[in-house]
Amino acid sequence: DADVTQTPRNRITKTGKRIMLECSQTKGHDRMYWYRQDPGLGLRLIYYSFDVKDINKGEISDGYSVSRQAQAKFSLSLESAIPNQTALYFCATSDFFLGVGGSPYEQYFGPGTRLTVT
């Protein structure tokens, strides 16, 4: 089973609708993130959470909200979707560690949710 899962994988919705994207992880990490990817712009950080009681805005939080329901769950909501929110959305997790191999700052990404707002 995948360590970081996202639901749904694909979603088409209409302008003005409320939509929620969900992320679950089994890695036991405290830190979770939401990014969006647009062509020619790379990945940009929307919100991040370092633990259940901690929520922080990223580069592009306007029009989005998040909820950290548990250590393993982090949801992204679009209260009133608009067409320029059409993008590929990624959830990621991390946990700072100093061990053998990898990187202490590595983030683990889910497979992405492709959202289209018409």
Partner 1 sequence: DQQVKQNSPSLSVQEGRISILNCDYTNSMFDYFLWYKKYPAEGPTFLISISSIKDKNEDGRFTVFLNKSAKHLSLHIVPSQPGDSAVYFCAAMRTGANNLFFGTGTRLTVIP
Please, which of residues 63-82 interact with partner 1 by CB under 8 A?
none
SS3 sequence of the chain: CCCEEEECCEEEECCCCCEEEEEEECCCCCEEEEEEEECCCEEEEEEEEEECCEEEECCCCCCCEEEEEECCEEEEEECCCCHHHCEEEEEEEECCCCCCCCCCCCCEECCCEEEEEC
> Is the CB of 14 or the CB of 96 nearer to partner 1?
96
Binding of partner 1 by 44 (CB under 8 A) = yes
Q: Is 110 in the site for partner 1 (CB under 8 A)?
A: yes
Pick between residue 59 and residue 79 the one whose CB is nearest to partner 1: 59
β-bridge partners, 51: 54
**From 7, 96, 97, 118, residue interacting with partner 1 (rule: CB under 8 A):** 96
Q: Which residues pair with 115 in a beta bridge?
A: 11, 87
Query: Using CB under 8 A as the criterion, what x/- string covers residues 2-41 for binding partner 1?
Result: --x--------------------------x---x----xx
Q: Does 49 bind partner 1 (CB under 8 A)?
A: no
Chain residues that interact with partner 1, rule: CB under 8 A:
4, 31, 35, 40-45, 48, 50, 58, 90, 92, 94, 96, 102-103, 105-112
